[in-house]
Amino acid sequence: MNSQVILVTPRKDLVERSAPFLPAGSEIRQVFICQTAPNYFFFLITYLTGLTMFWIKYRCVAVTQDAIYVLESTKLSGGAKPQSLVGVLPRHTQLGPVSGRWGRVNLLGERHWVHKRFHPDVTAADCEAGFTG
């Protein structure tokens, strides 16, 4: 058993919006939003000009006891409104560690960036899977 325990309550709105894309009866343990981009400076350009918004993919990641579900989300929601299942990863997949304002995670062969407000969710998911930070 891991000596470090991290308790995170997943965002209720993200849990409710993600649930329809998961197997019936799945319990979402952690959920977070992330975005694809070559590097995190794309987010600054998007924030200032909006020019790179259409190159960025917005994702919602739902972690259950059995698997990690990567969901495609609408661009205008910033990842908060999942629309379809993109892929499933084994539950023992390590997501982090993450640090800084935008933490980097690799999902389905793509570089994703997770804002620091969701870092506790990533860390909790790794902790539950037996990884230490």
pLDDT digits (tens, 9 = 90+) for 20-29: 999 999 999 9
Q: Residue ranges per domain, the chain?
A: 12-128
pLDDT tens sequence across 31-55: 999 998 776 666 666 666 666 666 7
Using DSSP's 3-state secondary structure scheme, residue 23 falls into coil
Predicted TM-score of the model (pTM): 0.88
Burial class (CB in 10 A: 0-12, 13-18, 19+), 47: exposed
Residues 2-14 have pLDDT tens digits of 445 567 899 999 9
DSSP state of 106: E
Top-level CATH class of 12-128?
A: mainly beta
User: Which has the closest alpha carbon to 98: 62, 130, 125?
Assistant: 125
